[in-house]
């Protein structure tokens, strides 16, 4: 059974870089697309982007200039970096697997989420 677990600092200073890692167990990262989603406190969900082991990626244009998602197949992990953070980046960050078919792309497995606060 595939499981995902986020890890990283819970507090980041404004203007610095937010870095999170998602560890994948029970399955290989060398399949599927892998994605990050975030949820500000009390608000809805925002898709950040995804990455495939082939190197294919796609980012939300609202964040594209500040976001990088990368995969480490040797560690079966993928990571998120968000540069120049502000208070607006405060959120619960989820990693998720993207399952796909001819007529769908869906987040079928999620990590438990990790809260990141941007504050000095």
Partner 1 sequence: DTQMTQSPSSLSASVGDRVTITCRASQSISSFLNWYQQKPGKAPELLIYAASSLQSGVPSRFSGSASGTDFTLTISSLQPEDFATYYCQHSYTNPWTFGQGTKVEI
Pick the binder of partner 1 from 1, 44, 119, 120 (CB under 8 A).
44
Cβ-based nearer residue to partner 1, 41 or 74: 41
Q: For residue 66, what are the β-bridge partners?
A: none
Phi (first) and psi of residue 87, to 5 degrees? -60, -25
Residues constituting the chain: 120
Cβ-based nearer residue to partner 1, 58 or 83: 58
Binding mask 58-77 for partner 1 (x = CB under 8 A): xxxxx---------------
CB 24 within 8 A of CB 110: no
Least distance to partner 1 from the beta carbon of 67, Å? 12
107 touches partner 1 (CB under 8 A): yes
Instruction: For residue 36, give both structure tokens.
Output: 């990050």
Selection from 93, 95, 82, 75 nearest residue 34 by Cα: 95
Residues making contact with partner 1 (CB under 8 A):
44-47, 58-62, 94, 98-99, 101, 103-108, 110-113
């Amino acid at each position: 059974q595939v499981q995902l677990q986020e890890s990283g600092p819970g507090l980041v200073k404004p203007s610095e870089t937010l870095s999170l890692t998602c560890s994948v167990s029970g399955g290989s990262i060398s399949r599927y697309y892998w994605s990050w989603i975030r949820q500000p406190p009390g608000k809805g969900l925002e898709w950040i982007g995804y990455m495939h082991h082939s190197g294919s990626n796609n980012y939300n244009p609202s964040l594209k200039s500040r976001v990088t998602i990368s995969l480490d197949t040797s560690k079966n992990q993928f990571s998120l970096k968000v540069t120049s953070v502000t208070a607006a980046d405060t959120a619960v960050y989820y990693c998720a697997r993207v399952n796909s078919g001819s007529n769908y792309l869906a987040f079928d497995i999620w990590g438990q989420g990790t809260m990141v606060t941007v504050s000095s």
